[in-house]
Amino acid sequence: MAESKSKVLIIGATGYIGTYLVRASVKLEHPTFILVRSLTPSDPAKAQLIKSFQDSGVTVLKGDVGDRESLVAALRQVDVVISSVNQAEALSSQVNILEAAKETGTIKRFIPSEFGNEVDRLEIDFKVLEGVFQKKRNVRREIEKSGIPYTVVLNGGFAGIFVAGLANDKVSAPPRDKVTIWGDGTAKAILNTEEDIATYTIKSVDDPRTANKLLHIRPKENFLSQGELVALWEKKIGHTLEKTVVSKEELKKIIEESPFPANSRYAIRHSIFVKGDQTSFELGESDKDVEATELYPDVHYTTVSTYLDQFV
C-alpha cells in the first residue's frame, strides 16, 4: 500500500511565492493547509485568493506566527511546515515557528523562507542587503540547532521578476525598444519559473534525500547572463534593442545614492547580474548540497527560452 502524503502547512500563502506553493501542493495531492491572520480579510483580492484556495480543497486555519497558541494549534494538524514570509521584518519570526514545532514534537520537515541566493556562500557588498541576508543566516543556525529536519530551497532568480523584464526594474514584459545592461552583461545568473520552484519544493517534503540539505534548483539551460537573456529575446522578436550600459562603478553609485527600497532592488541586480553570486560556487563544496533536476528527472521544467515565448 502506498504511503500517504504529508499534510503541508504553508505560512505566507497569499504572498508572491506562497500562492505557487499552495497550488503545487494541491496539484501533487498533499492535504494542504494555510495559515491566515483573518478568515475574512478586508483586501478583496486577498479574500478572493483565499476563497479560490478553499474551492480547491485547501484547509484555512486562523492564526499568526506571533501568536504561540494559534501557531501550535495549527502545527498539531500537519506534518510539514513551509514558510514563505516575504517581508524582511517577518524573517526573524520564523524562530517562533521552530519553537512551536518543538512544542508539538510532530513536525517532520521545516522549509524556511529562502527561495533565492545561497546566503552562506556569498559576501554582502552593500549595507542595504545585510539585514535580510543576516536574518536568513540566523534562522538557518536556529534551524540547525533545533533538531527539526529541514530543507533550504535555493532557486536563484524568479522568472516573473528577472526574465519577464530582462533584468530591468519594474517591467512586467520584455521591452521591445530599449534595455539597460548592468555591468558588462556577462555574469551568469540562475533563472527559474515560480511554478517549477514550487513543484520542486513540494516534491522534496517527503524525500529523505533532501532532509537537512540545501536543495539547489540549477537546470543548465537556465544559466544565463543578462547579455545572453537579451540576445535570446532579440532573436525571438527579430530586431536589436537599444542598449544603455550602466557600469559596475555607476551602479554602485546609484545604489549608494538611492533611497530604500530602490537601493535594495539595484543591489540585488548587482549581486545577480554584475557579480554573479548565484553561480560563484560549485555544488559539492558543501556536503549538504543536492540538486533538484537530478533528484526529480520526472519534472519537466520550463527553460528561459520557453518562458519568453509567451511574450512574443
Q: Is the peptide bond before 261 cis (omega within 30 degrees of 0)?
A: yes
- Rounded to whole angstroms, the Cα distance separating 182 from 180 reads 6
Do the beta carbons of residue 65 and residue 93 sit within 8 Å? yes
Q: Residue 291 in 3-state DSSP?
A: strand
Q: And the C-alpha cell for 161?
A: 521578476
Residues 255/263, Cβ–Cβ less than 8 Å: yes
* Contact partners, residue 258, CB within 8 Å, separation at least 6: 266
Q: Which residue among 135, 136, 203, 213 is the active-site one?
A: 136
Q: Which residues make Cβ contacts (< 8 Å) with residue 135, sequence separation at least 6?
A: 88, 91, 92
Nearest partner of 22 among 36, 7, 31, 10, judged by Cα: 10
Instruction: Please say if 51 is a catalytic residue.
Output: no
The catalytic residue positions are 136
